[in-house]
Chains A and B, each alone.
Chain A
Amino acid sequence: MSIAASLTNALSGLNAASRSAQTVSSNLANALVPGYAPREMQLSAAAITGGVRIEGESRAVDRALLADRRLADAAAGEAGARSAALERLAELVGASDDPASIAGRVAAFEAQLVSATARPDSTVRLEAAVTAARGLTAALRDASAGVQQVRQDADAAIARDVEALNDGLARVAQLNREIAALSSRPGAANALMDQRQEAIDAISQIVPLRALPRDRDMLALVTTGGQMLLDGRAWQVEFDAAGAVGAGSGAALSGLSVNGRPVTTGADGRMGGGSLAAAFAVRDDLGPQAQARLDGVARDLIARFEATQADPTRSAGAAGLFTDAGAALDTAQEPGLAGRIAVNGLADPSAGGGAWRLRDGLGAAAPGSAGDAAGLDRLIDALNAPRIPASGGLGPEARDMSGLAVGLAAFASADLAAADVERGFARARLEELTARELAQGVDSDQELQKLMLIERAYAANARVVETADQMIRRLMEI
């Protein structure tokens, strides 16, 4: 009965047209959702009767582009976190033309000493020099405290990232199970796949991930360093947040482990790349490096004024003008030295000493000749003597104190400049890939064109139904 067959075909055509319209309407409704993959209706000719068969709705996703964009996300996250931390560390040292920076305070101290040599009898000038020295030690202490705060913040960021990673992995595992349950019906799990893509995007900044297809539409997640994070079930990432981070507490801080096995987050580590690795780098490399540089500057400052020619009245082994919390320099206690440096109480009026000891020497029992500038000259010589810094990675050239402080700022800003360039590259790549990914999204012009075709197809099929109906009626009228 070919009329009945043509009726059946027309009805299948109407069905296909209305389902296609539903797909188009879904696409247009989701046109503003950034992670939405446009749906396409898959149709094929039905085998026996000649009508149209709906295969299902497919998601148009460029997997390669998606994978690239996720890796670029992780790279941008890592570069951004490093650059932000280095910016904070550079601000702690101070811009080199800022009078409140460490370099500025060294220059101010030197200037006050020079002006005191013109009037060594003036208590006002001597006390101004002591105040400048105290300003310098306060700047070093504040910078040291700031560095430890940066490390503490990095530790907290690691804890947050690990928690977000675990939550994200659990969610992806859950969605995997739900998608697998619907895998027999093509197109039924499309919305869940969208959610899974979004969940993976949420954690792709933390660590660079690759999504591997598994059967029944499930996905496995593995980092680019080779650490499996999700395959059927989610791996557990473990980390213990530290309560407080201090200058010497490098060994006591927790590392990262996955399901009980420790993993590294370095450049070639299993969990390398991404904002998690950057936070570890800040806590364990960049932060301690900045602290070591500050400690090297503090040690050089203290050692300069402990030399015999700086103050002959001092007894051997006694503390010089700058002290390690009141005591002489002990090189074994160097970590954290910048957080403890202070002006010797003997010369500090606010600590019960006398500013005249700047002029007469720390070992003097009573004020000496008021016009004797020789002691102040020795202090200026100690400040300006070229010395090779004994520690801190500050370079092998001999420099005076001011040159060392400027060198500290120069190191910090050179690191920042390099990190900024990296961040610029990573950001540009991410923007480019995001733009290309968005170009894969819903194109409303194209959907409207499809809608016009669907409209015509619907009208044509309805016409076929009408004609077949007329033919049958005609038969009935015999």
Chain B
Amino acid sequence: MTALSLGDLAQSYSNRLANVRLRTQLSDLSAQMATGRRDDTAIVASGDVAPLGALERSLTVTDAYRSSAAEATTLFAGAERALAVVADATGLLGSRLAATRIGGDDAGIDTLAAEARGQFASAVAGLNATVAGRSVFAGTGTDGPALTGAETMLADIAAALGAPASAAELLSGVQDWFAPGGGFDSQSYLGTAERMTGLQVAPGERLTLPATAAEPEPRAALAALAAAALLDTGMLDAQPEERRLAAAAAGEWALQATDGVTEMRARIGAEAARAEAAAGRAAAERAGLEMARADLVGIDPYETATRLEQTRSNLETLYAVTARLQSLSLVNYL
């Protein structure tokens, strides 16, 4: 620029640049107001890409863990309820059966045997419980039932025992049948040996359902109820003394089995508590992550509105100045 002249185009060039800059700023700010978040170039320029990416991934995965934990909680609750049925069956019947050791007439034992048959059926139904369409106590074979039907099982046991001559024969036969490797494993238990495991409720936290129908506690409960129920199928018919001995022993087994089943319920309850805790943590984490994300990409509406107003008034001033400068030419004064 010489001392004497200043080109005409210089002023209009800088006016045009300022116009474009202000209008771009205006449209960026209005887009920010509309979407409520900073635009991508601002995020890229501030270098926040990696934390934002990690945040997004945590949000996606936390949702999955939360619903997984909720499903695990439902599963464990169902398992606990089913085992409650079994514990009830053995508990109620056990004390009455054990009492026959001291006294009681033959007709009472027959009634108890019939009731035992009914309770055996409820226990088997309980162990065949399903939650959301899959078997709870079949280990990993969740697509089929855990046990065969109650009557089928009694028939199988009766076939295996034949016609026992004494209570001791009956009881040892039932024990052998329910022992690992006996008829229970080969004929009645339809699931797999592995527990249902690997339920992900949090990153790195995997829960296992610590119960299958083939574990010692349900076996003991079923053995006790089966021993009493067999008395209703015509075994030891004409030997009331043997029947009483058998019933009393079955009652003692049932009382012991109740403790075992209750302990199994407690284990399941502990895992259920872990699942619920994980679900709660996931919900809290989600809230925290969303707040962090709002911090990273969110905008302050008040600040953005103020800047928008300011830009608008700058643009108006520019328009006014451009119009005024137009008339400042020597041409108009000659």
Interface positions of A (Cβ within 8 A of B): 31-32, 34, 38, 90, 95-97, 99, 103-104, 106-108, 110-112, 114-115, 117-121, 369-374, 376-377, 380, 384, 402-403, 405-407, 409-410, 413-414, 416-417, 420, 431, 434-436, 438-446, 448-449, 452
How many Å lie between the Cα of A384 and that of B206 in the bound state?
14
Task: Tell me the complex Cα distance, A38–B5, Å.
Answer: 11
Query: A-facing mask of B35-64, CB < 8 A → 1, else 0?
Result: 000001101110101101111110011011
A422 to chain B, nearest CB (A): 13
In the complex the two chains form, is B141's CB within 8 Å of A369's CB?
yes
Q: Are A442 and B8 in contact (CB under 8 A)?
A: yes
Instruction: Tell whether, in the assembled complex, residue A119 and residue B45 are in contact, meaning their CB atoms are under 8 Å apart.
Output: no
In the assembly, what is the distance between CA of A427 and CA of B60, in Å? 40
Residues A372 and B330 in contact in the complex (CB < 8 Å), given A103-B53, A107-B56, A441-B10: no
State how many angstroms separate the Cβ of A392 from the closest Cβ of chain B.
Answer: 16
Say how far B203's CB is from chain A's closest CB, in angstroms.
7
Which residue of chain A has its CB nearest to the CB of B69?
Answer: A118
Q: Once bound together, how far apart are the Cα atoms of A406 and B56, in whole Å?
A: 10
Q: Which of B192-200, B239-247, B263-271, B317-325 contacts A (4 or more CB under 8 A)?
A: B192-200
Provide the bound-state CA to CA distance between A449 and B63, in Å: 77
Q: Smallest distance from the beta carbon of B318 to chain A beta carbons, Å? A: 16
In the complex, chain A residues whose CB is within 8 Å of the CB of B34: none
Question: Does chain A have a CB within 8 A of B145?
Answer: no
B302 beta carbon closer than 8 Å to chain A: no
- Tell me if A96 and B49 are in contact (CB < 8 A): yes
When distances are taken between beta carbons in the complex, the residues of chain B under 8 Å from A439 are 1, 6-7, 10
B68 at the interface (CB under 8 A from A): yes
A107 to B64 alpha-carbon distance, docked (Å) = 10
B39 → chain A, closest Cβ, in Å?
A: 10
> Would you call B50 and A118 a contact (CB within 8 A)?
no
Some 19 contacts from A to B, beta carbons below 8 A apart, are A31-B8, A32-B9, A96-B49, A99-B56, A104-B60, A114-B68, A117-B198, A118-B71, A118-B199, A118-B200, A370-B140, A371-B135, A372-B140, A372-B192, A372-B198, A407-B50, A442-B8, A444-B331, A446-B4
Query: With A114-B64, A446-B4, A448-B334 as given contacts, are A371 and B200 in contact (CB-CB < 8 Å)?
Result: no
Q: Are A117 and B14 in contact (CB under 8 A)?
A: no
Q: Which listed residue (B1, B4, B43, B143) contacts A121, Cβ 8 A?
A: B143
Residues of A within 8 A of B6 (CB): 439, 443
Would A369 and B7 be within 8 Å (CB), given that A114-B64, A377-B206 are in contact? no
- Decide: A96 and B143 in contact? CB cutoff 8 A: no
B139 within 8 A of A: yes
Query: In the assembly, what is the distance between CA of A48 and CA of B256, in Å?
Result: 142
* Residues on the A chain within 8 Å of B72, using CB: 118
B37 to chain A, nearest CB (A): 9
B44 touching A90 by the CB < 8 A rule? yes
Bound form: Cα–Cα A413–B330 in Å: 52
Docked CA distance A377–B207 (Å): 11
Whether B143 pairs with A370 at a CB distance below 8 angstroms is yes
Q: Is the CB of A117 within 8 A of B50?
A: no
A118 touches B67 (CB 8 A): yes
A420 to B57, CA, bound (A): 27
Q: Is B93 an interface residue (CB 8 A)?
A: no
- What number of residue pairs across chains A and B have CB atoms under 8 A from each other? 176
Given the contacts A111-B63, A117-B198, A121-B134, A96 and B47 also touching, CB distance less than 8 Å: no
Most chain A beta carbons < 10 A, residue from B135, B140, B192: B140
Q: Which residues of A contact B44 (CB under 8 A)?
A: 90, 413, 416-417, 420
Given A90-B44, A115-B67, A370-B140, check contact A445 B330 (CB 8 Å).
yes
- A residues less than 8 Å from B56 (CB atoms): 96-97, 99, 103-104, 107
Q: Give Cα A443 to B55, complex, Å.
A: 58
Interface contact B64-A115, CB-CB below 8 Å: yes
Q: Which residues from B are CB-within-8-Å of A403?
A: 54
* CA gap between A436 and B11 in the complex, in Å: 10
A114: chain B residues within 8 A (beta carbon): 61, 64-65, 68, 200
Please determine whether B203 and A377 come into contact, CB atoms closer than 8 angstroms. Answer: no
Q: Is the CB of B5 within 8 A of A117?
A: no
| B residues near A380, Cβ cutoff 8 Å | 200
Closest chain B residue to A33, Cβ basis: B9
B197: contacting residue among A107, A373, A445, CB under 8 A: A373
A111 to B198, CA, bound (A): 15
- Find the A residue at minimum CB distance from B58: A107
Q: Is B277 an interface residue (CB 8 A)?
A: no
Expressed in whole angstroms, the minimum distance between the Cβ of A439 and any Cβ of chain B is: 4
Contact between B330 and A96, CB atoms less than 8 A apart: no
CB pair A377–B134 under 8 Å, yes or no, is no
Q: Which residue of A lies closest to B196 (CB)?
A: A371
* Shortest CB distance A320–B (Å): 20
Chain A positions within 8 Å of B197 at CB level:
373-374
Most buried by B among A34, A413, A446: A413
For A117, list chain B residues within 8 Å (CB): 68, 198-200
A residues within 8 A CB of B8?
31, 441-444
Q: Are B61 and A410 in contact (CB under 8 A)?
A: no
Q: Indicate with 1 or 0, residue by residue over B66-90, a CB within 8 angstroms of chain A CB atoms.
A: 0110011000000000000000000
For residue B24, CB closer than 8 A to chain A, the reply is: no
Q: Does B329 contact A (CB under 8 A)?
A: yes
A95 touches B45 (CB 8 A): no
